[in-house]
Chain A
């Protein structure tokens, strides 16, 4: 079946330093899109980034990610972490050719930014 893997469950980073969250996937879908969702404490998950184009960098709020179909990856990066970036981050895969619109989520990475 289809799956998304986030290898880090917990990441602690010092404010001002770079952070990278890994996301890899396996899928049989022919047309796909990827999302990074961020969930702050006691809030709803919200989209941070999305992409469906191979090898094209997408950016939002200082974060960036590039879909690489050759390596089945959609890693999330930020050059300078901020205290406000502390949250739970989910990578998600979507079949854009089917009828369900189903998102397949990774396990999530809890990011804590320390001063």
Chain B
């Protein structure tokens, strides 16, 4: 089936540095999402993105977070500056529609902030 790719699979950085997580969504999809999963906890919604804009964001989507998808390239999540509590696995997803449509997930990027 359709694949969502995430680059890198692992990232280790020092607290205070900037990090960009990259997602290559399914090619004809229009809606894009980021979810965060802290070790041992459930996956939680961060943000969704459509037509160049953030549609909705959760309380977890702090001011240090930003998303973009310039010119149909990677859908990115940038964290600047990073904090220890940002350590988690970040999953990207995409879907063709909003309603009952399936969201296709990537395998996740494991971010470790030291």
Contact = CB atoms under 8 A, between A and B. Distances in A.
Contacts of A43: 107
Interface in A5-56: 33, 35, 37, 42-47, 50, 52
A100 B48 contact: yes
Q: What class of interface size applies to chain A in its complex with B? A: 20 to 34
A52 B106 contact: no
B14 interface: no
Contact of A46 (B31, B44, B48, B105): B105
A101 interface: yes
A96 B1 CA distance: 23
Contacts of B44: 105
B6 to A, nearest CB: 8
B63 to A, nearest CB: 19
B34 to A, nearest CB: 11
26 contacts: A33-B100, A35-B102, A43-B107, A44-B91, A44-B104, A44-B107, A44-B108, A45-B91, A45-B105, A46-B1, A46-B104, A90-B43, A96-B98, A96-B100, A98-B56, A99-B98, A100-B45, A101-B33, A101-B98, A101-B99, A101-B101, A102-B58, A103-B45, A105-B42, A105-B43, A106-B42
Interface of A: 4, 33, 35, 37, 42-47, 50, 52, 90, 94, 96, 98-108
